[in-house]
Amino acid sequence: MSWRVTFTDLERSFEVPDNANLREACLREQIPLYRSLARVTNCGGRARCGTCRVTVESGADQLSDPTPPERARKGDDERPCRLACQANVRGDVEVRRGW
């Protein structure tokens, strides 16, 4: 089973297997998640820096539940954002890069 991830800001879609990690899928598909120095100084997917943030435009319920480190990093922010490193894809989603 596979799902479609669409980056609306890039007008680009790709397929991922069920439960694929969004950050890893983006890196594999050469989707530029990181800006400037974050390309080399990001935390490598450990939810410590927040630089892989994406805004979920549709399909938020098709992503895994936020992890405790992700919830702690988000704080009181009510925007529909996720850290790509902490989100596993379980259905079709549309996102845009958080920067």
Q: Look at residues 1, 3, 97 and name the one whose alpha carbon lies nearest to residue 50.
A: 97
In angstroms, rounded to a whole number, what is the distance separating the alpha carbons of residues 49 and 41? 9
Could you tell me the domains of the chain?
2-97 (3.10.20.30)
pTM of the model: 0.91
Give the per-residue pLDDT at 66.
Answer: 94
Compute, in degrees rounded to 10, the torsion defined by CA atoms 44, 54, 94, 76: 130
Give the per-residue pLDDT at 78.
Answer: 76
Q: What is the gyration radius of the CA atoms in the chain, in angstroms?
A: 12
Residues in the chain: 99
- Residues 34-70 have pLDDT tens digits of 888 888 889 999 999 989 999 999 999 999 999 999 9
- Residues 20-39 have pLDDT tens digits of 999 999 999 999 998 888 88
